[in-house]
Amino acid sequence: MGWIKSGNRTVTAEQFDARARRAANVIAGFGVAKGDGIALYLRNDIAYFEAVFGAGMLGIYPVPVNWHYTPDEANYLLVDSGVKLLLIHADLYEPIRSAIPPGLPVVIVETPEEVRSAYGLPDVPPPADFPLWRELVDAAAPWAGEAGIAPSSIIYTSGTTGRPKGVRRPAFTEEQNAAVSTMLGWSYGYTDVLEGRRDPASITTAVIGPVYHSAPNAHSAFSIRVGANVVICPRFDAEELLALIEREKITHLNMVPIMFNRLLRLPEAVKRKYDLSSLQFVTHAAAPCPPPVKRAMIEWWGPVIWEYYGSTEMGNVTCLSSAEWLAHPGSVGRVMPGVTLRVVDPAGNDVPPGTVGEVIGKGRHGTDFTYQNAPEKRAAMEKYGLVTPGDMGYFDADGFLYLCDRINDMVISGGANIYPAEIEAELHKLPGVADCAVFGIPDEEFGESVMAVVQPMPGAELTGDGLKAELRKVLTSYKVPRRIDFADSLPREDSGKIFKRKLREPFWEGRERRI
């Protein structure tokens, strides 16, 4: 069995299991029962996983919270989720103290040194009058019951188009749990472990994304569950990741494309400085990856780059290797066995290969889900007996799926459907463009017109007219943005998704159209 490491702390699998069993008794001691939830207002930390696995033994739902939330956002989640206990890092308590619902028990988790160092935080003493997680777990007796199948975390979607929604699934059956494990094994490169052909302790992975996001949450918990060695990183740092790969002989990683961007911007001397030969399986998802970025990563790291596509609601539904991507650049993969995935027109008919339609599907696990306190939003996700993640795309003749854009991001200008992702892909190819976002703004003549916000690379001198001239070489004229603004940075989730809502809002304020 493997180990878990964070900063200077290392625990064996046996030690972690003992801590998780003690954590189960601590959680039960607050009156939290099977089917209830506990809020984890925590950065990446061993204590987070102690609570997740301890709660899971009792059939209690972990509810990870985005610790970047404003007090209003935090209050919304804590109330909407109906959690019965809040665990929070010491330095995060004071900023949201006023947002904690009256009567909700609070347990303080001391902020570990590696987290303070990564974020440049002072050593904030735990607020008085609250119990400390470490002391409670140290003093508790191990829970002696037989653990059933742990419920999945209630993940609140990123809310790029409105208030986040909590995705809650009923308890898995044995068959569903096996199907979920198979799906995750394909996604993260653990199939040989699940089928008994590989010792899990020969795999070393790192948690480099925030665990309140769906993919890092699933990847990290699954890695611990199968017995891999797991390094918990407080936050992503491009050069530190390279150093970590060399130091810990990292074999497997789960990443998002913005991490690739930051790695590729490192000086060539830094890229060549570290030994990355231990890498065997590096997968990415959660946000579109510009083809030039992915090609550059494959050229640098070799054919170890994999990709999968899915959603919190559907699960993971496609995957592809480096070789498959090079043969089908821009694809997000072929459908996994046991998955139902269709591309349909507005009437629900399957569209021919190469024709853009709405992507709908259902994961191989066959589990249903609800949105916490939002049955009408759950009903809106239903399309022809399947789930719509809100994406437009198409299959090619070989059965590879390509995504064009989010339905909500599509621009309708003068009756023509324009997919911003296509324009963004071309902008990313242009010299001096570090990042970009394309969206629709009001236009009195055409209804909408295309606008781009571009983040230049340091030192680059870009002009709107110059970028438009380059885009006209590769795009039909009506797809070229009428307006191009520049920004030092773009509002992004840690998952890499751009908050286009924040960019669009000023232009649509006061209008009837929903953004």
* pLDDT value of residue 161: 47
d(CA 299, CA 129): 55
In 3D, which of 288, 318, 321, 274 has the Cα closest to residue 302? 321
In the 8-state DSSP scheme, what is residue 170? Answer: P
Residue 139 covered by a domain: yes
Contact 317, 339 (CB under 8 A): yes
Residue 134 covered by a domain: yes
Give the CATH number of the domain where residue 432 resides.
3.30.300.30
Domain span at residue 438 reads 420-508
Question: How far from chain centre, in Å, is Cα 300?
Answer: 24
In 3D, which of 180, 189, 185, 181 has the Cα closest to residue 306? 189
* pLDDT value of residue 242: 98
The tokens for 228 are: 């891999």
Task: Give the pLDDT of the chain (515 residues) as one tens digit per residue.
Answer: 699 999 999 999 999 999 999 999 999 999 999 999 999 999 999 999 999 999 999 999 999 999 988 899 899 999 999 999 999 999 999 999 999 999 999 999 999 999 999 999 999 999 988 999 999 999 999 999 888 899 999 999 765 445 788 999 988 899 999 999 999 999 999 999 999 999 999 999 999 999 998 889 999 999 999 999 999 999 999 999 999 999 999 999 999 888 998 899 899 999 999 999 999 999 999 777 878 889 999 999 999 999 999 988 888 999 999 999 999 999 999 999 999 999 999 999 999 999 999 999 998 866 788 898 888 888 888 999 899 988 889 999 999 999 887 787 888 787 777 888 889 989 988 999 998 999 999 887 777 899 999 999 989 999 999 999 999 998 888 899 999 999 998 987 766 678 888 888 888 876 644 43
Distances (CA, A) of 187 to 35, 282, 318, 448: 28, 10, 9, 38
Residue 294 covered by a domain: no
Domain boundary among 135, 151, 167: 151
The tokens for 453 are: 């916000």
Residue 200 covered by a domain: no
DSSP 430-443: STTEEEEEEEEEEE
Residue 413 covered by a domain: no
Give the CATH number of the domain where residue 93 resides.
3.40.50.980
Residue 37 covered by a domain: yes
Residue 312 covered by a domain: no
Residue 106 covered by a domain: yes
Q: State the virtual CA torsion across 456, 462, 468, 473 in degrees, nearest 10.
A: -90
Domain boundary among 110, 136, 151: 151
Domain boundary among 151, 186, 202: 151
d(CA 33, CA 39): 14
* pLDDT value of residue 494: 64
> Where does residue 188 rank: exposed (0-12), middle (13-18), buried (19+ CB within 10 A)?
buried
Give the residues across from 433 on adjacent strands: 456
- Report the number of distinct structural domains present in the chain: 2
d(CA 104, CA 101): 6
Phi, psi dihedrals of residue 493, rounded to the nearest 5°: -70, 160
